[in-house]
Structure 1
Amino acid sequence: MSPFNPTRGEVIATLGGREVRLCVTLRALAMLEHHFGVTGLEALGARLKSLSAADLSVVLTALSLEDIASLDIGFQEALDAVVAAFGALR
């Protein structure tokens, strides 16, 4: 794995026993706006406040800079990883 870039807002999370890089990119935000059917960051932020397990999986996949489809990821580690990724925004 190439080194992560904290200046870019990347974080390393342990998911399913593997270290994975996550980052809130423009692409990820656009994917999430589309998935949730909202327009704008304010509406997206409001929608992210009440996620189902399926929604959390979509968010985690959008933020991941790697393929995580085959990983067995627990709810709490997924939630912690998403919070860390959004917390890394500057």
Structure 2
Amino acid sequence: MANPWTGEVALTVDGTRHDAKLTLGALAELEAHFGAGSLTEMVKRFEGDGLKSSDVLALICAGLRGGGWGGDLNDLLHADIEGGVLEAARVAARLLVLAFQPAP
């Protein structure tokens, strides 16, 4: 079961439930993917109206890898995400919120 206190968010991919988490390594992977110079620059990419589906997939991929998943972005491009686009966007947003909220 995903533990939101540790930044985990559950997502079902191809019928298998995974716990995703934006670890420091996952965030570094995202920075490199987007060519961002800082965490702040990367997070700004997810604000406003410019969000792309490829951004959501990259964020989910990094979160899944941070949770121990062995796949890559190409695997997600061909995967069935339970709940579709809306669930993918919800999980991506939740991952960001949990990664940057202060510890209780």
Which interval holds the TM-score relative to the shorter structure? 0.7 to 0.9
Correspondence list, 1:51-66, <5 A: 51-64=51-64, 65=67, 66=69
Q: Scaled by the length of structure 2, what TM-score is found?
A: 0.68
Aligned alpha-carbon RMSD (Å): 2.2
Distance 1:7 1:51 in 2: 26
Q: % of aligned pairs identical? A: 31
For 2:88, which of 61, 65, 78 is the aligned residue? 78
Unaligned runs of 5+ in 1: none
Determine whether 1:33 maps to 2:43.
no
Q: Is contact 1:4-1:10 (8 Å) kept?
A: yes
Unaligned runs of 5+ in 2: none
Distance 1:12 1:37 in 2: 27
Number of aligned pairs? 88
Q: Scaled by the length of structure 1, what TM-score is found?
A: 0.77
Distance 1:35 1:21 in 2: 21
Superposed displacement of residue 13, structure 1: 2.7
